[in-house]
Protein backbone atom coordinates (compact mmCIF):
# COMPACT_ATOMS: atom_id res chain seq x y z
CA UNK A 1 0.00 0.00 0.00
CA UNK A 2 1.43 3.36 -1.00
CA UNK A 3 1.67 6.39 1.27
CA UNK A 4 -1.12 8.08 -0.69
CA UNK A 5 -3.38 5.07 -0.35
CA UNK A 6 -2.75 4.94 3.39
CA UNK A 7 -3.55 8.65 3.67
CA UNK A 8 -6.79 8.13 1.75
CA UNK A 9 -7.76 5.26 4.05
CA UNK A 10 -6.90 7.35 7.09
CA UNK A 11 -9.17 10.18 5.91
CA UNK A 12 -11.94 7.76 4.95
CA UNK A 13 -11.96 6.07 8.39
CA UNK A 14 -11.78 9.40 10.21
CA UNK A 15 -14.77 10.71 8.30
CA UNK A 16 -16.88 7.57 8.58
CA UNK A 17 -16.15 6.36 12.09
CA UNK A 18 -13.98 8.94 13.83
CA UNK A 19 -11.18 6.37 13.98
CA UNK A 20 -7.82 8.12 14.12
CA UNK A 21 -5.56 5.62 12.37
CA UNK A 22 -2.00 6.39 13.38
CA UNK A 23 1.07 5.36 11.40
CA UNK A 24 1.91 2.80 14.12
CA UNK A 25 -1.38 1.04 13.45
CA UNK A 26 -0.57 0.63 9.77
CA UNK A 27 0.12 -3.06 10.32
CA UNK A 28 -3.53 -3.56 11.28
CA UNK A 29 -4.69 -2.46 7.85
CA UNK A 30 -3.25 -5.46 6.10
CA UNK A 31 -4.39 -8.07 8.62
CA UNK A 32 -7.93 -6.73 8.82
CA UNK A 33 -8.59 -5.69 5.22
CA UNK A 34 -6.94 -8.55 3.31
CA UNK A 35 -9.83 -10.93 4.19
CA UNK A 36 -12.25 -8.37 2.71
CA UNK A 37 -10.20 -8.23 -0.51
CA UNK A 38 -10.42 -11.99 -0.73
CA UNK A 39 -14.15 -12.04 -0.03
CA UNK A 40 -14.90 -9.34 -2.60
CA UNK A 41 -12.60 -10.69 -5.31
CA UNK A 42 -10.21 -7.73 -5.11
CA UNK A 43 -6.60 -8.54 -5.96
CA UNK A 44 -4.89 -6.18 -3.51
CA UNK A 45 -5.35 -3.47 -0.91
CA UNK A 46 -4.67 -0.98 -3.70
CA UNK A 47 -7.67 -2.30 -5.63
CA UNK A 48 -9.80 -2.11 -2.51
CA UNK A 49 -8.82 1.52 -1.95
CA UNK A 50 -9.56 2.35 -5.61
CA UNK A 51 -13.03 0.86 -5.12
CA UNK A 52 -13.52 2.97 -1.97
CA UNK A 53 -12.47 6.10 -3.89
CA UNK A 54 -15.25 5.53 -6.43
CA UNK A 55 -17.71 5.85 -3.53
CA UNK A 56 -20.30 3.61 -5.13
CA UNK A 57 -20.10 0.50 -2.98
CA UNK A 58 -21.83 1.12 0.37
CA UNK A 59 -21.51 -2.51 1.48
CA UNK A 60 -17.74 -2.48 0.90
CA UNK A 61 -17.40 0.82 2.75
CA UNK A 62 -19.30 -0.58 5.75
CA UNK A 63 -17.18 -3.75 5.73
CA UNK A 64 -13.96 -1.71 5.82
CA UNK A 65 -15.19 0.46 8.70
CA UNK A 66 -16.39 -2.57 10.63
CA UNK A 67 -13.16 -4.49 10.10
CA UNK A 68 -11.03 -1.58 11.33
CA UNK A 69 -13.17 -0.75 14.38
CA UNK A 70 -13.82 -4.19 15.83
CA UNK A 71 -12.16 -4.53 19.20
CA UNK A 72 -11.49 -7.27 21.67
CA UNK A 73 -13.81 -7.67 24.60
CA UNK A 74 -14.70 -10.25 27.23
CA UNK A 75 -17.13 -10.77 30.08
CA UNK A 76 -16.60 -8.50 33.11
CA UNK A 77 -13.65 -6.91 31.32
CA UNK A 78 -11.43 -4.99 33.78
CA UNK A 79 -13.76 -6.14 36.63
CA UNK A 80 -13.78 -2.77 38.46
CA UNK A 81 -16.49 -1.12 36.30
CA UNK A 82 -18.75 -4.07 37.10
CA UNK A 83 -17.92 -4.15 40.82
CA UNK A 84 -18.75 -0.45 40.81
CA UNK A 85 -22.09 -1.15 39.15
CA UNK A 86 -22.98 -3.90 41.62
CA UNK A 87 -21.76 -2.18 44.78
CA UNK A 88 -22.43 1.53 44.15
CA UNK A 89 -24.16 2.58 40.95
CA UNK A 90 -27.06 0.12 41.07
CA UNK A 91 -27.83 0.44 44.81
CA UNK A 92 -27.79 4.23 44.50
CA UNK A 93 -29.99 4.19 41.41
CA UNK A 94 -32.45 1.93 43.26
CA UNK A 95 -32.77 4.60 45.95
CA UNK A 96 -32.72 7.58 43.61
CA UNK A 97 -35.26 6.15 41.13
CA UNK A 98 -37.38 4.37 43.75
CA UNK A 99 -40.55 6.34 43.01
CA UNK A 100 -40.56 5.69 39.26
CA UNK A 101 -38.87 2.25 39.39
CA UNK A 102 -37.10 2.78 36.12
CA UNK A 103 -33.44 2.37 35.19
CA UNK A 104 -31.88 3.08 31.81
CA UNK A 105 -28.38 1.90 30.90
CA UNK A 106 -26.50 2.46 27.67
CA UNK A 107 -23.51 0.46 26.48
CA UNK A 108 -22.28 2.81 23.77
CA UNK A 109 -19.68 0.52 22.21
CA UNK A 110 -21.07 -2.88 23.01
CA UNK A 111 -19.10 -4.91 20.46
CA UNK A 112 -20.09 -8.59 20.58
CA UNK A 113 -22.29 -8.17 23.65
CA UNK A 114 -20.10 -9.21 26.57
CA UNK A 115 -20.46 -5.85 28.35
CA UNK A 116 -24.27 -5.54 28.21
CA UNK A 117 -24.67 -9.23 29.08
CA UNK A 118 -22.31 -8.85 32.06
CA UNK A 119 -24.57 -6.05 33.32
CA UNK A 120 -27.65 -8.16 32.58
CA UNK A 121 -26.24 -10.96 34.75
CA UNK A 122 -25.58 -8.54 37.62
CA UNK A 123 -29.13 -7.20 37.25
CA UNK A 124 -30.51 -10.71 37.28
CA UNK A 125 -28.65 -11.36 40.54
CA UNK A 126 -30.15 -8.18 41.96
CA UNK A 127 -33.66 -8.95 40.66
CA UNK A 128 -35.09 -10.03 44.05
CA UNK A 129 -34.57 -6.49 45.33
CA UNK A 130 -36.04 -4.89 42.21
CA UNK A 131 -39.66 -6.09 42.06
CA UNK A 132 -41.67 -4.15 39.52
CA UNK A 133 -38.65 -2.33 38.11
CA UNK A 134 -38.42 -1.56 34.44
CA UNK A 135 -34.80 -1.90 33.37
CA UNK A 136 -33.65 -1.03 29.89
CA UNK A 137 -30.20 -1.83 28.53
CA UNK A 138 -29.57 -0.19 25.18
CA UNK A 139 -26.45 -1.53 23.45
CA UNK A 140 -25.02 0.13 20.37
CA UNK A 141 -22.09 -0.47 18.08
CA UNK A 142 -20.96 0.87 14.73
CA UNK A 143 -20.70 -2.64 13.29
CA UNK A 144 -23.83 -4.46 12.20
CA UNK A 145 -21.79 -7.66 12.03
CA UNK A 146 -20.86 -7.62 15.72
CA UNK A 147 -24.39 -6.60 16.67
CA UNK A 148 -25.70 -9.70 14.94
CA UNK A 149 -23.22 -11.81 16.89
CA UNK A 150 -24.23 -10.06 20.12
CA UNK A 151 -27.92 -10.66 19.46
CA UNK A 152 -27.29 -14.36 18.87
CA UNK A 153 -25.38 -14.48 22.17
CA UNK A 154 -23.24 -17.43 21.02
CA UNK A 155 -19.70 -17.63 22.35
CA UNK A 156 -16.78 -20.02 22.02
CA UNK A 157 -15.33 -21.77 25.04
CA UNK A 158 -12.40 -19.33 24.87
CA UNK A 159 -14.77 -16.37 25.07
CA UNK A 160 -16.75 -17.65 28.06
CA UNK A 161 -13.69 -18.50 30.11
CA UNK A 162 -12.11 -15.07 30.38
CA UNK A 163 -13.70 -13.14 33.24
CA UNK A 164 -16.82 -15.25 33.64
CA UNK A 165 -17.01 -17.38 36.81
CA UNK A 166 -17.84 -20.98 35.93
CA UNK A 167 -20.82 -20.94 38.32
CA UNK A 168 -22.34 -18.19 36.18
CA UNK A 169 -21.49 -20.05 32.98
CA UNK A 170 -23.71 -22.94 33.99
CA UNK A 171 -26.33 -20.64 35.49
CA UNK A 172 -26.77 -18.23 32.59
CA UNK A 173 -25.62 -20.12 29.47
CA UNK A 174 -26.83 -23.12 27.52
CA UNK A 175 -24.46 -25.40 25.67
CA UNK A 176 -25.14 -25.45 21.93
CA UNK A 177 -22.76 -27.92 20.30
CA UNK A 178 -19.25 -26.55 20.81
CA UNK A 179 -20.56 -23.11 21.76
CA UNK A 180 -22.30 -21.50 24.68
CA UNK A 181 -25.39 -19.35 24.29
CA UNK A 182 -26.49 -16.81 26.83
CA UNK A 183 -29.98 -17.48 28.18
CA UNK A 184 -32.93 -16.09 26.25
CA UNK A 185 -34.09 -14.19 29.36
CA UNK A 186 -30.82 -12.23 29.37
CA UNK A 187 -30.86 -11.68 25.62
CA UNK A 188 -34.34 -10.21 26.03
CA UNK A 189 -32.97 -7.64 28.48
CA UNK A 190 -30.74 -5.98 25.87
CA UNK A 191 -31.97 -3.78 23.02
CA UNK A 192 -29.28 -3.73 20.30
CA UNK A 193 -29.05 -0.85 17.80
CA UNK A 194 -26.49 0.09 15.18
CA UNK A 195 -25.00 3.49 15.92
CA UNK A 196 -22.02 5.52 14.77
CA UNK A 197 -21.04 7.73 17.71
CA UNK A 198 -20.18 10.52 15.28
CA UNK A 199 -23.85 10.78 14.44
CA UNK A 200 -26.64 12.14 16.64
CA UNK A 201 -27.89 9.90 19.43
CA UNK A 202 -30.39 12.28 21.04
CA UNK A 203 -33.22 9.95 19.98
CA UNK A 204 -32.16 7.46 22.67
CA UNK A 205 -33.15 9.85 25.47
CA UNK A 206 -31.48 10.12 28.87
CA UNK A 207 -29.66 7.36 30.70
CA UNK A 208 -28.85 6.79 34.36
CA UNK A 209 -25.64 4.95 33.51
CA UNK A 210 -23.56 5.07 30.34
CA UNK A 211 -20.69 2.68 29.61
CA UNK A 212 -18.52 4.04 26.80
CA UNK A 213 -15.30 2.15 27.28
CA UNK A 214 -12.29 1.73 25.04
CA UNK A 215 -13.69 3.56 22.05
CA UNK A 216 -12.65 7.18 22.64
CA UNK A 217 -9.01 6.09 22.55
CA UNK A 218 -9.37 5.64 18.79
CA UNK A 219 -10.61 9.23 18.25
CA UNK A 220 -8.60 12.43 17.95
CA UNK A 221 -9.02 15.16 20.60
CA UNK A 222 -11.71 17.28 18.83
CA UNK A 223 -13.79 14.15 18.15
CA UNK A 224 -13.40 13.01 21.78
CA UNK A 225 -14.56 16.46 22.97
CA UNK A 226 -17.57 16.37 20.68
CA UNK A 227 -18.63 12.85 21.67
CA UNK A 228 -18.13 13.53 25.40
CA UNK A 229 -20.22 16.73 25.27
CA UNK A 230 -23.01 14.86 23.53
CA UNK A 231 -22.76 11.94 25.98
CA UNK A 232 -23.07 14.45 28.84
CA UNK A 233 -26.28 15.73 27.27
CA UNK A 234 -27.75 12.19 27.38
CA UNK A 235 -26.69 11.58 30.98
CA UNK A 236 -29.35 12.02 33.69
CA UNK A 237 -28.58 14.81 36.20
CA UNK A 238 -27.08 12.39 38.74
CA UNK A 239 -26.04 9.84 36.16
CA UNK A 240 -22.73 8.06 35.80
CA UNK A 241 -20.47 7.72 32.78
CA UNK A 242 -17.85 4.97 32.73
CA UNK A 243 -14.86 5.25 30.42
CA UNK A 244 -11.99 2.87 29.76
CA UNK A 245 -8.92 2.86 31.99
CA UNK A 246 -6.86 4.73 29.37
CA UNK A 247 -9.55 7.36 28.76
CA UNK A 248 -10.44 10.61 30.51
CA UNK A 249 -12.55 13.76 30.17
CA UNK A 250 -9.82 16.02 31.47
CA UNK A 251 -8.90 18.68 28.95
CA UNK A 252 -11.69 17.53 26.64
CA UNK A 253 -14.91 18.81 28.20
CA UNK A 254 -15.89 20.88 31.22
CA UNK A 255 -19.33 19.29 31.37
CA UNK A 256 -18.05 16.13 33.06
CA UNK A 257 -15.72 15.58 35.99
CA UNK A 258 -13.86 12.55 37.33
CA UNK A 259 -15.33 11.04 40.48
CA UNK A 260 -12.96 11.70 43.37
CA UNK A 261 -13.00 8.09 44.60
CA UNK A 262 -13.65 5.86 41.61
CA UNK A 263 -11.24 5.72 38.71
CA UNK A 264 -12.94 5.57 35.32
CA UNK A 265 -16.21 7.02 36.68
CA UNK A 266 -17.40 10.47 35.57
CA UNK A 267 -20.40 12.57 36.57
CA UNK A 268 -21.78 15.94 35.56
CA UNK A 269 -19.30 18.61 36.59
CA UNK A 270 -21.51 19.96 39.41
CA UNK A 271 -23.99 17.26 40.42
CA UNK A 272 -26.52 18.03 43.17
CA UNK A 273 -25.52 14.91 45.09
CA UNK A 274 -22.19 13.15 44.68
CA UNK A 275 -22.28 9.47 43.88
CA UNK A 276 -21.05 7.39 46.77
CA UNK A 277 -22.59 9.71 49.38
CA UNK A 278 -26.28 8.90 49.14
CA UNK A 279 -26.28 5.47 50.72
CA UNK A 280 -24.22 2.74 52.20
CA UNK A 281 -23.41 0.34 49.38
CA UNK A 282 -25.59 -2.75 49.23
CA UNK A 283 -23.91 -5.97 48.21
CA UNK A 284 -25.55 -8.35 45.84
CA UNK A 285 -25.15 -11.88 47.11
CA UNK A 286 -23.16 -13.47 44.29
CA UNK A 287 -19.71 -12.06 43.75
CA UNK A 288 -17.97 -11.72 40.42
CA UNK B 1 -3.17 -13.00 49.03
CA UNK B 2 0.28 -14.59 49.16
CA UNK B 3 3.08 -13.17 47.05
CA UNK B 4 3.49 -15.19 43.83
CA UNK B 5 6.85 -16.64 44.89
CA UNK B 6 5.19 -17.98 48.06
CA UNK B 7 2.36 -19.62 46.14
CA UNK B 8 2.70 -23.31 45.32
CA UNK B 9 0.75 -24.82 42.48
CA UNK B 10 0.45 -28.55 41.77
CA UNK B 11 -0.24 -29.50 38.15
CA UNK B 12 -1.92 -32.91 37.90
CA UNK B 13 -2.20 -34.33 34.38
CA UNK B 14 -1.12 -37.57 32.71
CA UNK B 15 0.04 -35.60 29.66
CA UNK B 16 3.62 -34.40 29.99
CA UNK B 17 2.91 -31.80 27.29
CA UNK B 18 0.01 -30.26 29.22
CA UNK B 19 2.10 -30.24 32.41
CA UNK B 20 4.92 -28.49 30.58
CA UNK B 21 2.62 -25.85 29.03
CA UNK B 22 0.86 -25.19 32.34
CA UNK B 23 4.17 -25.06 34.21
CA UNK B 24 5.52 -22.42 31.85
CA UNK B 25 2.45 -20.20 32.20
CA UNK B 26 2.25 -20.52 35.98
CA UNK B 27 5.99 -20.00 36.48
CA UNK B 28 5.76 -16.88 34.33
CA UNK B 29 3.27 -15.58 36.92
CA UNK B 30 5.99 -16.05 39.53
CA UNK B 31 4.54 -19.10 41.29
CA UNK B 32 6.26 -22.35 42.24
CA UNK B 33 5.13 -25.42 40.32
CA UNK B 34 5.26 -29.13 41.11
CA UNK B 35 3.80 -31.93 39.02
CA UNK B 36 1.96 -35.23 39.42
CA UNK B 37 0.88 -37.59 36.65
CA UNK B 38 -2.22 -39.07 38.25
CA UNK B 39 -4.57 -38.72 41.21
CA UNK B 40 -2.76 -41.08 43.57
CA UNK B 41 0.60 -39.38 42.98
CA UNK B 42 -1.16 -36.05 43.56
CA UNK B 43 -2.60 -37.25 46.89
CA UNK B 44 0.90 -38.28 48.03
CA UNK B 45 2.23 -34.88 47.01
CA UNK B 46 -0.55 -33.13 48.94
CA UNK B 47 0.09 -35.27 52.04
CA UNK B 48 3.74 -34.24 51.95
CA UNK B 49 3.06 -30.58 51.28
CA UNK B 50 -0.39 -29.08 50.73
CA UNK B 51 -0.25 -26.69 47.75
CA UNK B 52 -2.16 -23.42 47.44
CA UNK B 53 -3.64 -24.33 44.07
CA UNK B 54 -4.19 -27.48 42.04
CA UNK B 55 -4.69 -27.59 38.29
CA UNK B 56 -6.46 -30.89 37.84
CA UNK B 57 -7.13 -33.10 34.83
CA UNK B 58 -10.21 -35.33 34.89
CA UNK B 59 -9.29 -38.52 32.96
CA UNK B 60 -6.11 -40.08 34.34
CA UNK B 61 -4.96 -43.65 35.06
CA UNK B 62 -4.90 -45.07 38.64
CA UNK B 63 -7.05 -42.36 40.18
CA UNK B 64 -8.98 -39.85 38.10
CA UNK B 65 -9.39 -36.18 38.91
CA UNK B 66 -12.89 -36.55 40.29
CA UNK B 67 -11.89 -39.30 42.75
CA UNK B 68 -8.79 -37.32 43.71
CA UNK B 69 -10.84 -34.19 44.44
CA UNK B 70 -13.27 -36.09 46.66
CA UNK B 71 -10.38 -37.67 48.59
CA UNK B 72 -8.55 -34.35 48.83
CA UNK B 73 -11.51 -32.44 50.26
CA UNK B 74 -11.91 -35.12 52.98
CA UNK B 75 -8.24 -35.09 53.96
CA UNK B 76 -6.69 -32.93 56.65
CA UNK B 77 -6.03 -29.46 55.24
CA UNK B 78 -7.54 -30.56 51.92
CA UNK B 79 -10.21 -27.89 52.08
CA UNK B 80 -7.68 -25.11 51.55
CA UNK B 81 -6.22 -25.49 48.04
CA UNK B 82 -8.02 -23.75 45.21
CA UNK B 83 -8.82 -26.47 42.71
CA UNK B 84 -9.18 -25.66 39.03
CA UNK B 85 -10.43 -28.56 36.98
CA UNK B 86 -8.75 -28.47 33.57
CA UNK B 87 -10.25 -30.99 31.24
CA UNK B 88 -11.74 -31.93 27.89
CA UNK B 89 -14.94 -32.92 29.72
CA UNK B 90 -16.71 -29.79 28.55
CA UNK B 91 -20.40 -30.44 29.05
CA UNK B 92 -22.62 -28.78 31.64
CA UNK B 93 -23.13 -32.04 33.53
CA UNK B 94 -19.40 -32.56 34.04
CA UNK B 95 -18.92 -28.96 35.17
CA UNK B 96 -21.78 -29.20 37.67
CA UNK B 97 -20.41 -32.51 38.99
CA UNK B 98 -16.95 -31.00 39.46
CA UNK B 99 -18.36 -28.01 41.33
CA UNK B 100 -20.39 -30.29 43.59
CA UNK B 101 -17.22 -32.27 44.35
CA UNK B 102 -15.53 -29.07 45.52
CA UNK B 103 -13.83 -27.51 42.49
CA UNK B 104 -13.39 -23.74 42.66
CA UNK B 105 -13.10 -23.16 38.93
CA UNK B 106 -13.22 -25.05 35.68
CA UNK B 107 -11.03 -24.71 32.61
CA UNK B 108 -12.13 -26.27 29.36
CA UNK B 109 -9.31 -27.60 27.19
CA UNK B 110 -7.81 -26.40 24.99
CA UNK B 111 -6.84 -23.43 27.12
CA UNK B 112 -4.39 -20.61 26.58
CA UNK B 113 -2.30 -18.29 28.73
CA UNK B 114 -5.09 -15.70 29.02
CA UNK B 115 -7.65 -18.21 30.22
CA UNK B 116 -5.39 -19.84 32.80
CA UNK B 117 -4.29 -16.44 34.11
CA UNK B 118 -7.90 -15.19 34.23
CA UNK B 119 -9.02 -18.26 36.17
CA UNK B 120 -6.16 -17.93 38.66
CA UNK B 121 -7.25 -14.30 39.10
CA UNK B 122 -10.82 -15.37 39.68
CA UNK B 123 -9.86 -17.68 42.53
CA UNK B 124 -7.71 -14.93 44.04
CA UNK B 125 -4.27 -16.38 43.40
CA UNK B 126 -3.12 -13.73 40.95
CA UNK B 127 -3.47 -10.00 41.47
CA UNK B 128 -6.19 -8.66 39.21
CA UNK B 129 -4.83 -6.80 36.19
CA UNK B 130 -7.64 -4.24 36.67
Rounded CA gap, A84 and A72, in Å? 22
B92 CB neighbours in chain A (<8 A) are 170, 174-175
Q: Which pLDDT score is estimated for B35?
A: 97
What are the residue ranges in chain A where pLDDT is below 70?
70-72, 271-288
Q: Which of A77, A96, A141, A255 is catalytic?
A: A141
Of B92, B107, B130, the CB nearest to A170: B92
Q: Which pLDDT score is estimated for B129?
A: 54
Asked if B86 is an interface residue toward chain A (Cβ–Cβ < 8 A), one would say: no
What are the residue ranges in chain B where pLDDT is below 50?
none
Q: Which pLDDT score is estimated for A78?
A: 87
Interchain proximity A162–B90, CB inside 8 Å: no
Cβ atoms of A62 and A144 within 8 Å: the answer is: yes
Interchain proximity B111–A169, CB inside 8 Å: no
Residue A32 annotated in active site: yes
Closest CA to A1 of A26, A35, A32: A26
Q: Which pLDDT score is estimated for B126?
A: 80
Task: Please state at what angle helix A45-54 crosses helix A3-17, rounded to 10 degrees.
Answer: 50
Interchain proximity A170–B91, CB inside 8 Å: no
A–B: how many Cβ contacts below 8 A?
37
Nearest CA in chain A to B104: A166
Residue A26 annotated in active site: no
Contacts of A218 (CB under 8 A, 6+ apart): A18, A19, A20, A69
Q: Which pLDDT score is estimated for A286?
A: 39
Rounded CA gap, A9 and A16, in Å? 10
Pair type for strands B8-12 and B53-56: parallel
Rounded CA gap, A152 and A272, in Å? 41
A167 CB neighbours in chain B (<8 A) are 99
Q: How does DSSP assign B49-101, residue by residue?
A: S--SEEEE-SS-SSS-HHHHHHHHHHSTTTTSSEEEEEES--SHHHHHHHHHT
Amino acid sequence: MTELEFEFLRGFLKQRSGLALTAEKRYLVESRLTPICRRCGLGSLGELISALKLGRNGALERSVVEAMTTNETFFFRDRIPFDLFRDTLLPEALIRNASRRRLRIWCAASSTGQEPYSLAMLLQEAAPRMPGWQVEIVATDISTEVIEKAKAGLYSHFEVQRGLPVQWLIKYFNQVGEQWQIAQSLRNMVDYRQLNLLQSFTMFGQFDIIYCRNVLIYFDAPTKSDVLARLAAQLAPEGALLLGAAETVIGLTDRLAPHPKHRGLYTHAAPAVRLGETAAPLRVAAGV
Amino acid sequence: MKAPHETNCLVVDDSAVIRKVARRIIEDLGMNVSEAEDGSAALEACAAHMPDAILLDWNMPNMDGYAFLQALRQSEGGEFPKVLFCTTENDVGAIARALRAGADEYIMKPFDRDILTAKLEQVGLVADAA
